[in-house]
Copies of this chain bind each other. A is one copy, B any other.
Amino acid sequence: VADLFAGTYGRGAAAAAVSGEAWLLAMLEVEAALARACEREGLVPAEAAVRIAAACDPAGFDPAALARDGGDHASVVVPLVRVLRERVGEPLAAYVHLGATSQDVVDTAAMLVARRALEPLLSDVAAMASAAAGLADRHRSTAVVGRTLLQQAIPTSFGLNAAGWMVALDAAALRLREVGERALAVQMGGPVGTRSPAVAALVAAELGLAEPLLPWHTDRTRVAELAGAVGTLAGVLTKIGRDVTLMSQDEVGELREGGASHRGGSSAMSHKRNPVEAVSVLACGRRVPGLVATILASMEQEYERAAGAWQAEWGTLRDLLALTGSAASWGRDLLEGLAVDASRMRENLARLASRGVSEAQAPERHLGSAEELIERALAAHHELTEESDD
């Protein structure tokens, strides 16, 4: 069942990283890693671990069938394990999923999926920040009207606007990267979270996830932190999208999307060129706050496994990553192709000057401290960039 709006909402590699196939692959990796960890702990014979790992080949699995059957158990792991046990065959089938509970597999897979979605997402955001840095650098002395409450105020430099985007992108990305490294942890606590942590530690090491202090079946701080950091980033993207739609108004005319020429045509008006990239950033980004609220409201989870709140998380987290990933993919095109019209900026300033606002008559006088600010923001950006390249 295709999503007819996937061109807007599901653009880029982050969206692909949360597909049904990607989730299935992640779950199979978890089952295989679990078998190997159990083998090392002496709980599973070597032959079984090998057979299980071989059975965890996604080829031959039908995600749609698993999805359908998963509904009957409020867990896609039940049919998944059934297929794995059939593939492994007797007498080793019992070693599949040993000591684990459905939530162990879904939660650990969710963390793998999230990590894989964060990579392209953060890469797109880094490219956006880099593009914004370029704009800040090139336009440090390009005068533009500063606008407050949508009214012309006094002059600033367009480079400072762009530096503001850059600083916000860098800050949000840094937090998200930290959360990605710290909060994405293995879940391997068994039915009620009492499993000895040795197996969890081995699975964590194999999958490159953090090892939690305790199983976190109903402690959803990790998911909430992730959602908060993704939501903050999405908010930054909407700020940029909003500014570009405003500065692209015909009456303002200071910016223009430079995206591929086939974009932005109107079905009805040939003279129009719609700011499709900025609009798509906003279309995706505006869907995010409600999803974050759902994740936070879902933290109220009962006892050792929630009856509803956990199951509400699955699709919400997926959509959160896909939409923010798509927004960042649009945002990258937007900032990398953005065309700046410095002469329109001057014209608009002239309107302010004509109203007797002295600052607008000699905008350069106001740009000194703006340039100083840009300078230090760029320095911080380059330092951050070098660090993350190490």
Contact of A280 among B69, B97, B274, B311 (CB under 8 A): B311
Q: Is B2 touching A63 in the complex (CB atoms < 8 A)? A: yes
Q: Is A249 touching B314 in the complex (CB atoms < 8 A)? A: no
Chain B binder among A38-46, A49-57, A121-129, A141-149: A141-149
Contact of A147 among B97, B302, B351, B376 (CB under 8 A): B302
Q: What is the size category of the interface that chain A forms with chain B?
A: 35 or more
Q: Is A286 touching B315 in the complex (CB atoms < 8 A)? A: no
Q: Is B315 touching A287 in the complex (CB atoms < 8 A)? A: yes
Q: Does A331 contact B (CB under 8 A)?
A: no
Q: Is B243 touching A302 in the complex (CB atoms < 8 A)? A: yes
A 254-308 contacts with B by CB, 8 A: 260, 262-269, 271-276, 278-294, 296-308
Give the docked Cα–Cα distance between A269 and B9 (Å). Answer: 39
Q: Does A21 contact B (CB under 8 A)?
A: yes
A 308-333 contacts with B by CB, 8 A: 308-309, 311-312, 314-316, 318-319
Q: A267-B75, A296-B288, A312-B287 are in contact. Are A151 and B274 (CB under 8 A)?
A: yes
Which B residues lie within 8 Å of A134 (CB)?
none
Which B residues lie within 8 Å of A249 (CB)?
147, 150-151, 249, 251-252
Q: Is A164 touching B148 in the complex (CB atoms < 8 A)? A: no
Query: Interface code A187-217, partner B: CB below 8 Å = 1, 0 otherwise?
Result: 0001111111100000000000000011110
Q: Is B74 touching A271 in the complex (CB atoms < 8 A)? A: no
CB-based closest 10 A-B pairs: A7-B71, A282-B308, A228-B228, A146-B192, A235-B299, A290-B290, A283-B311, A148-B305, A2-B20, A293-B293
